[in-house]
Amino acid sequence: MQFPPSAVFLALCACCIGLSFTSVSLASADSLIPSVGTLIDSLFGEPRFIPKSAFGPPFDKGVIVYIRATKTTTFLTSIVIGIVINSILMYPKFNNVGPAAFLVSALTLTQVVTATPFSPPRQKNIGTSDDSAAAASSSQAASNQERRDAVKQAFQISWDGYYKYAFPHDSLRPVTNSYEDDRNGWGASAIDAFSTAIVMRNWPVINQILAYVPQIDFTRTSSEISLFETTIRYLGGLLSAYDLLTTPPLYADAKAAAPDVHLNSTSSQTATDAILAQAIRLADALSVAFDTPSGIPDNNLIFDPVTGPKRTGSQTNGIATIGTLVLEWTRLSDITGNSTYAQLAQRAEAFLLNPQPSAIAEPFPGLLGTNVNITSGLFVDSTGGWGGGTDSFYEYLIKMYLYDPDRFALYRDRWILAADSSIQYVASHPTTRPDLTFLGGWKGPRGNTTLRFSSGHLDCFDGGNFILGGLTLSNKKYLDFGLELVKSCAETYSATATGIGPELFSWQDNRTPLNATNNRGPPSAEQKAFYEKNGFWITNEQYVLRPEVIESMYYAWRATKDEKYREWAWAAFKAINATTRAGSGYSSVANVNKVGGGSKTDFQESFWFAEVLKYCWLIFQDEDDPWQVKADQTNEFVYNTECHPIRLAKGHEIQPSSSSSPSSDWGYGSADEKKNNEQQPRGRPGVWKHGDDGSWSDRREKRFAGPRYA
């Protein structure tokens, strides 16, 4: 082939464009043959397709751009090869374009390559795709900064809609631009958004919430109160904000970025004082729930404006609503030095740590029934699982041990029992997709227990919990099992028309006789076809802005640093962002297996702020902020079940002392220690709290002066 003088000029242009830290080779997208593509790929790295709308001729049919970071010698070689390839493949198009026009388009292309991300289509069967390909695809996708920007934009849209149309009520109805007080009218979305705004360092929103917190009257509401929901959302949100805003790195940022917050003020009411004061007022009002013969709380309360807070008189309570109080109430005691809060929650928890009668309460070692009699403390059924009503009891067992291994060794032992039994007895593989692993449920007393092969979005937190257990206990078995659960729950997303997982699903177990009474097949032909391909069929098509699948992807990423988990989370976020965006915010949808999600149900849950958006932000955050989950046992925070970061009792992760053992006094400390607390009511000895010097060293010796408490 002969080249006219214009080709030489064009080659020189290619050299000029290529003089960067990245070697770029251009080839016409509609003329590149597979063999040449393979050659270029081996030389230059991963391809990115840039659409024709981004630049003019001769690239107006689109181009494939090969990008690979190179050393100097490889870089110079790449330039020469690039000139040859570009000249051969693109000269026919260059002939119709003047040199000046070519140079302008080429320079435009260079800008596009460095500034315009390519988001690949959603990948089917993400859990079973080639891992190396999934990791390598990060070079094709948007940068983590751009992804964080997208998540922050979703947060801002959600907040602006809520603040305009719903604040200070609980939740936004984004389609109708109205509100609903589904959590007692105390501004649930504001408090759930608090810790997310803080980790994002969104100071305008932080200031709006800080100004609102002192105005809440936690003693008045016209609706029935859930002790569980109020604890994880409001009490957890307030304690998390207190812990985060008194963390030295963020404390310094606050003084620089938002001096009007006055976190270090010497006035009588600092911002963090106000947060803690409200947490105390709320806990004091809720404490009536524990006024029962056994100490097991009544989950349902009424705050009567005349007679004050009172119980509704429930006869039973569930293990999740009993067992998901201990982290928040213990933390409040540790901050204030008032042991009452911890004692209330830990006394109730004791009935779950020693469940009776054992044959009914504990069908498998460590795996419990659901409901407990409030008067006697005895279990009344043997039905359980890792889903709604039971889930966060198991979640908090390992998290309490991480919070303080010296006081909560028994919690660790009970989690290990539950984890081992789940792996041995409950783990299930679908007949059509035995590569998947799900945890189902169980029913019936010990020796006569039947398994249930169904699960749901709520259950999918289990992968993250097993991963956390594996990291905390340095046990690869739990880590590997958790990763299997993460992969399987990720498949529930990739299988649907929207790329979002359903609320509930079922399958047939491959170790149980087919069509046994507890192992029936799909009820319809459509569900059967879906099951044959995907290993589960959908029994509830809703998506209500739940976080659990992305939550577990976050733990998988933090444990392994395998980029595929970031890719899965990004695909999930994009699907949720595209499907649930509605009106002034984001709405739950009726059917994840219909394009567009079916109808919008006009409700933006408060945990959308606290969980989905926070996990998405954290997984794409490169900075190793102190609240990130750490794989090397240097954790400083643990997340409550609403994804509010709570500072560890000693301020950092510790190994249990050789003398640590389950406390007979509900884990709060010895009688001598309690006596010492009464004499020095500024916080539990050995518990880290923010001090005037902001020191992180020698927390055991320095007894920082804590804020006032009621």
Using alpha carbons, select from 607, 455, 479, 637 the residue that is nearest to residue 536.
Answer: 455
pLDDT digits (tens, 9 = 90+) for 646-679: 999 999 998 887 545 444 344 444 334 343 333 3
Using alpha carbons, select from 538, 551, 541 the residue that is nearest to residue 607.
Answer: 551
CA distance 125 to 658: 46
What tokens were used for 439?
A: 């945890």
246 labelled ligand-binding: no
AA identity, residue 461:
F
- pLDDT score of 263: 54
List beta partners, residue 372.
317, 379
Q: H/E/C letters for each residue in 590-611?
A: CCCCCHHHCCECCCECCHHHHH
φ and ψ at residue 400, rounded to 5 degrees: -70, -35
- pLDDT score of 53: 32
Catalytic residue among 192, 229, 484, 636: 229
> In the chain, which residues have pLDDT < 50?
1, 3, 7-125, 127-132, 136-141, 264-269, 659, 661-710
With 0-12 / 13-18 / 19 or more C-beta atoms within 10 angstroms meaning exposed / middle / buried, residue 663 is middle
- pLDDT score of 260: 58
Catalytic residue among 170, 192, 243, 391: 391
> 548 catalytic, yes or no?
yes
With 0-12 / 13-18 / 19 or more C-beta atoms within 10 angstroms meaning exposed / middle / buried, residue 146 is middle
- pLDDT score of 254: 66
Catalytic residue among 192, 362, 462, 503: 503
What tokens were used for 607?
A: 């945990």
The residue whose two tokens read 């097949």 is 521
> 503 catalytic, yes or no?
yes
What 3-state class would DSSP assign to 561?
Answer: coil
pLDDT digits (tens, 9 = 90+) for 477-493: 999 999 999 999 999 99
Do the strands 316-318 and 371-373 form a parallel or antiparallel pair, or are they unpaired? Answer: antiparallel
The residue whose two tokens read 């870089």 is 75
- Helix boundaries (H) for 535-641: 548-560, 563-580, 607, 613-619
- pLDDT score of 703: 23
Helix axes 203-212, 144-165, angle to 10 degrees: 30
Catalytic residue among 548, 551, 567, 605: 548
Whole-model pTM? 0.77
- Helix boundaries (H) for 215-257: 227-230, 236-245, 248-257
